[in-house]
Structure 1
Amino acid sequence: MPASPEFFAASLLLGLPLAVFLVLWLAGKSVNKMAGWIGALATGAGLAASFLLVDIHAVHSLSFEWLEIGQRPIFLSFRIDNLAFVMLLVVHLVALLVQVYSTAYLRGDENLHRYFAFVQLFLFSMIGIVLSGSLLVMYIFWELVGLSSYLLIGFWYTKKRPVWAAQKAFVLNRIGDAAFLTGILLLFYYIGSTDFEVLVSNVHTISPGMLTLIGICLFGGCVGKSAQFPLSGWLPDAMEGPTPVSALIHAATMVAAGIFLLTRIFFLLTPDAQLFIAVIGTITMLTGAVKATFAWDIKRVLAFSTMSQLGLMVTAVGVGSWQMAFFHLVTHAFFKAGLFLSAGSVIHALHYDGTSDFDPQDMRTMGGLRTSLPVTFICFLICAAALSGLPLFSGFLSKDAIITEGFLSAASIGPVAYVFPVLMMLAAGLTAYYMTRQVWLVFFGTKRFSGEEIHPHESPSVMWVPMAILSLLSFFIWFSLNPVSAEDSWFLHLTGGSEAGHLSWVPIAASAISLIAIFVAYRETRTNNPFGMDSLLMRDKQRPAFSWFRDFSNEHYFLVPFSSLAGLAGKFEIKVVDAFVNFIARANVVTAHLVSWIDCNVVDGAVRLTVYMIRFAGNSVRGLQNGKIQSYFLVTLTGIFLLILWLATL
């Protein structure tokens, strides 16, 4: 391949994290103290390279031949454009802040070199997805991201729960990836290439029905990676990994890879495929929001919230607005990463080496922390307001832009399509409710922990500075000068999109719903048993919330309905399949015994009877040959009599 600035940029962006991964992995524990800062320095260099080397005013494609299958060459293709530029900034910036934060959060861990090496491996894989110029190259890095997620979720491999959670994430993602690979192979069969530029030119050669099937198969990759129904069960359990990992992978970057995939393949999606995507996204959006309303673990609330927001982005793609989905992807990356890091600050403040069963992640044992953790409280409150879609925050712009596009799309499709934007507004109200609930449970009310054992304290500056930066990036000003509309947003201009229209009543209605939800949550805090936490505390120790829906064991990877279905299938196999096989076997045994009896008593009996009759006749005739004339005369006379009798009958 000829040398070019684009080739140098792609090589540098991919080479930096890969090289640091190898260095940290091979150096071992000897670099534990410096591992975090080495990783952060390399990531900062990648962020600077993204700014300086990527040309956002043109599309640059790089390709070289990899191998041949028969007479067909296979190319490895890379693409650098405005979408890649935005994703590079998001991935590098969040990763940089997370690594700086991790140097304090994980201080004292004996395997820091391994942790930061895995983070660099993840960065290498994620950047590969961003720079992919074909679905084949994307799939290669897609699987590496899955491996990185598995390694980081199970970082504390000496504990059962993180290992189980990592295995569950790996298994469920492979199911979605199988569908993704099927779509890639179908495209390769029908077009002969998976390069985006070739697909755009030849997509019309595929029949609409087959194209719908291909689009749904490719969407399967998003279902697994972005935790969509029915493969969303792995994301809440992934919270067993370190909290900074949750901020990096399961809030800002890896789970967003599925949305990025949809933006790349949107031209392949037929109306039927978009409808399917919208339905799946809506189910995920509502399921995540409802579950977050009842969760008590501070990280699980944010995990369910991530599910819900990813469902909102997928629904946006389904209603035909991938630009707004991508817009929300970026805004969500900052305020959700800020929420996770702030939650980590709370956990860090409540952690101790006592002997009681105090859970530093259970919000029912917190309360009143705003005075002890003032910086964390402010950061959490700002990011929660952005997630709730309140005015003056970035989440307000992106979420309302999606809802607006939903109503405009429904106006052109038909009345039934209005169900999508209406449910979006309902989910927005639930988001405001459960975030108000979380803020109150953690930072307001009376302290619900023992003052003798727990001494909450503000996190060091190396932790709260990244939180503060992410909080500042959650304000509207970074994305649009207009605080109530994204119509003139530089972001939409950069991505080549714009609002199809502006509905002035949507921001008002959405804000009103959010404020009503906040008020309802506030009224709940004034009751004697806010959110029912006291009555549920003891019961949940015996039976966790939603235990009817999720398996909490350390052995199973799937949701309870899937396990129940598997159990029914097992019973069907035993009661029906095995019973039928056993019946056939017993019937064969009985038949064999019957055939053996017939063989011994009928077939062999007939043979023995014939032999006996012949022997009896022979013996009888031999008895007449005794040398006595009387016997011979009797035989002769009998023969003559029988001969005459025979002749008489003729």
Structure 2
Amino acid sequence: MEKFIYIALFAPLVGSLVAALFSMQPKNAFTGWFTSFMLAVSMIASLNLLQHVYTTDETLNVVLFEWIVSGSLNIPMGFVVDHVSVVMMTVVTVVSTMVHIHSIGYMEHDKGFNRYFSYLSAFVFSMLVLVMSDNFAVLFIGWEGVGVCSWLLIGFWYHKESASWAANEAFIMNRVGDLGLLLGMFLIYWNIGSLQYDVVFANVASLETSTLTWIGILLFVGAMGKSAQFPLHTWLADAMEGPTPVSALIHAATMVTAGVYLVIRSNELYALIPEVGYGIACLGAFVAIFAATMALVNNDMKRIIAYSTLSQLGYMFVAAGLGAYWVALFHLATHAFFKSVLFLGAGNVMHAMDDELDIRKMGGLHQKMKATSIIMFVASLALAGIFPLAGFFSKDKILEAAFNADAYILWATLWITAGLTAFYSFRLVFKIFFGKQNYSDEQFHPHEAKSFVIAAMLPLAVLAVIAGWFEHAFIDFVTKILPSWEASNTASSTVWILILVTSAIAIGGIAVAYVKYFKGDGFSKEWENKAIYKLLINQYYVPQFYEKFVSKPYYAMSVWFFKVVEIKIIDNTIDSIARFIYKLGTNIRVIQSGNLSTSLRLMVTGLIMGLVFALVLAVI
């Protein structure tokens, strides 16, 4: 099976390198189809590995080469395929393959077509390095790789100032989190002497609680940056400046879930520090409702879906923080399917509406885009957690985990968020596809996407429906290495009550959206003048806070350091040394007269000074 590991890992890299050969040439459809084919090869290899691990329970380890060997430090370029990593590999490659195929249609008329596919495949390769690594150092290589590729993809249309700014914001904010991850890795090596997962997790129990706490916090700081958790969250919505299929891949199924994967992978560490885990769960619950409230009023189609992703990541961290690691992984997988297809559907709508994003300027598109409408409707039902779609099974388990842990405030927060999620999801669908038409036929000419684009969306839509049906098989599979969480404190009747209550608020959210946006024209204009609306539409003024109290003071401090420290102190000091040496050389140059008598006198003088110096040293 070793060959399948290499095929799954390196097929996207081959596609990326081949596409890069054509990067400066005019659009060549070959690059799109070749990279998609290589992703399909990687997907098939991943599915083969999934079947092998499922049937044999065997963990596969390979060492590509010895990477860093220095003294006691030994870090191989090693990869592991076990019950957790193979699930991530499958999710990443399935979604990536469909996104690549969809992108062929979406980027059809873009001048950077070839370059786009090179970047996209390089991102998938980096993500696979991240999830397949068998140690923290190789994970960090993939971690930084997806960061670089996301910078390239978010700022793909670099001629737009907004795209360049968003790419830089995402890159810099992730570097803040990455510093935490690096410090956590340093602490691990300092105390254990290895970065190999198996060695680290076999020895964490021997560490002091304070050391474990710091390691857990620092690793989670890295997760906060990558998974856009408060306060490192503002980059995610701004990252919608990139091509929409990029959002379907990066901001739904892959990079933003890397932080959740890191916590799940480090479960043996976090199990020893439940207080840190509870803190993670509290922050996750806050982010869930925090992002959901911002999605309620936003009118940018992609930003609404981005805030939804942020909210659902909060759900995942609640499960992981409370020790229900397999539940977090389960929701990660189901969310990847329905959220990625929502983004791809949004891309279809953008093409149909000449890149329009304001949902207030849409309406009535169902008749002209029936396939996209139905797919996004089904994906929204899954996101809302309606039975029997995938989101129902995974989201309900997270609520059950919160209730079982006696974290009733967290449960109530997630329960309210479930209602908000259902409302804003169907506000989006009804405003786009139903209700009255809010555009002129002279201005826009909506049309359905190409058949192969819809075909690429269908597998994800089907998985958004049926993925939850495999809950018990998923539990049996991943709990071979993850803790087996069960709702031991919750009676069966209580579980059914929780399910009914959660389903009720989700259906209620859809009903309110139906009344307001399908039957009616939404809330009155007076609502937009209220303080709460202004608070939500301005993202709780967090970006303004960063601009006023972080960016501008940092810029002012940088200018001061440049003018005072850099120029007046450092540059002047160096220039003064240079002037002194030059002047000294000018003054001494006169002794190089070429006169033999003068040279002999200087030699004798030097000899006498040397003898005197030697005599003084001898006396001392």
Name the TM-score, length of structure 1 as normaliser.
Answer: 0.79
Change (3 A) 1:458 1:212: same
Partner of 2:361: 365
Work out whether 1:441 is the aligned partner of 2:436: no
Alignment of 1:239-278 (within 5 A): 239-269=240-270, 270-278=273-281
Conservation of the 8 A alpha-carbon contact between 2:391 and 2:468: no
| Cα offset, 1:524, TM superposition | 2.4
1:67–1:390: structure 2 CA closer, same or farther, 3 Å change rule? same
Q: Does 1:564 align with 2:548?
A: yes
Letter in 2 for 1:566: V
Match of 2:22 in 1: 27
Contact 2:435–2:519 (8 Å) recurs in 1: no
Q: Which residue is 1:531 aligned to?
A: 523
**d(CA) in 2 for partners of 1:32, 1:368:** 35
Q: Is the 8 A contact 2:26 2:111 kept in 1?
A: no
Query: What residue in structure 2 maps to residue 340 of structure 1?
Result: 343
Matches within 5 A, 1:99-498: 99-269=100-270, 270-351=273-354, 360-410=356-406, 417-476=407-466, 478-480=467-469, 486=471, 489-496=472-479, 497=484
8 Å Cα contact 1:320/1:409 also seen in 2: no
**Where does 1:5-24 land on structure 2 (aligned, <5 Å)?**
5-6=1-2, 8-24=3-19
- Between Structure 1 and Structure 2, whose CA radius of gyration is higher? 1
- The farther-off stretch of 153-162 and 20-29 is 20-29
SS at match of 1:256: helix
Q: Does the CA contact (< 8 Å) of 2:294 and 2:536 recur in 1?
A: no
SS at match of 2:120: helix
Q: Aligned partners of 1:311 and 1:66: how far apart in 2?
A: 36
Measured after TM superposition, the shift of residue 569 of structure 1 is 5.5
Structure 1 Cα separation of the partners of residues 419 and 331 of structure 2: 17
Partners of 2:226 and 2:393 lie apart in 1 by 25
Cα 1:569–1:102 change in 2 (3 A) is closer
Q: Deviations along 1:276-321, whole A, 9 cap, x unmatched?
A: 2112211211111001101101110000000000011011111111
Superposed CA offset, 1:580-627 (max 9, x none)? xxxxxxxxxxxxxxxxxxxxxxxxxxxxxxxxxxxxxxxxxxxxxxxx
Q: Which amino acid aligns with 1:69?
A: S
The CA deviation at 1:562 is 2.3
CA distance in 2, matches of 1:69, 1:290: 51
- Structure 2 gaps of 5+ residues are 562-620
1:588 is aligned to none
Tell whether 2:507 aligns with 1:515.
yes
Taking a change above 3 Å as real, the CA distance of residues 155 and 58 of structure 1, as seen in their structure-2 partners, is same
Gaps of 5+ in 1: 352-358, 411-416, 552-558, 578-650
Any conservation in 1 of the 2:39–2:96 contact (CA below 8 Å)?
yes
The change in CA–CA distance for 1:114 and 1:350 in structure 2 (over 3 A counts) is same
Question: Closer, same or farther in 2 for the Cα pair 1:530/1:45, shift >3 Å?
Answer: same
Change in 2 beyond 3 A, CA 1:119/1:544: farther
Distance 2:372 2:453 in 1: 10
**Is contact 2:180-2:221 (8 Å) kept?**
yes
Question: How far is 1:205 from its partner?
Answer: 1.8
User: Are the counterparts in 1 of residues 394 and 468 from structure 2 also a CA contact under 8 Å?
Assistant: no
Contact 1:381 1:439 survives alignment (8 Å): yes
Deviation at 1:523, TM superposition (A): 3.0
The alpha carbon displacement at 1:531 in A equals 3.1
SS in 1 for 2:405: helix
In structure 2, give the amino acid aligned to 1:436. F
Measured in 1, the distance between the counterparts of 2:134 and 2:296 equals 40
**Aligned partners of 1:432 and 1:517 also within 8 Å:** yes
Paired residue for 2:590?
A: none
State the SS of the aligned residue for 2:233: coil
Shift in Å at residue 61 of structure 1? 2.3
CA distance in 2, matches of 1:10, 1:175: 32
Q: Which moved more, 1:565-574 or 1:174-183?
A: 565-574
| Residue aligning to 1:590 | none
Report the CA distance shift for 1:204/1:76 in structure 2 as closer, same or farther (over 3 A). Answer: same
The alignment covers a number of residue pairs equal to 540
Aligned partners of 1:164, 1:570: CA distance in 2, in Å? 17
1:546 aligns with one of 537, 545, 550: 537
SS of the equivalent of 1:252 reads coil
| Offset of residue 436 of structure 1 | 1.7
Root mean square deviation of aligned Cα: 2.5
> Residue deviations 1:80-108, cap 9 Å, x none?
11212111111111111111111111112
Give the conservation status (yes or no) of the 8 Å contact 1:549–1:561: no
Aligned-partner Cα distance in 2 for 1:241–1:72 = 40
Mean Cα deviation higher: 149-158 or 559-568: 559-568
Q: In 2 relative to 1, CA 567–136 (structure 1 residues): closer, same or farther, beyond 3 Å?
A: closer
TM-score (norm 2): 0.83
User: Does the Cα contact within 8 Å between 2:430 and 2:518 map onto a contact in 1?
Assistant: no
How many angstroms does 1:200 deviate by? Answer: 1.8
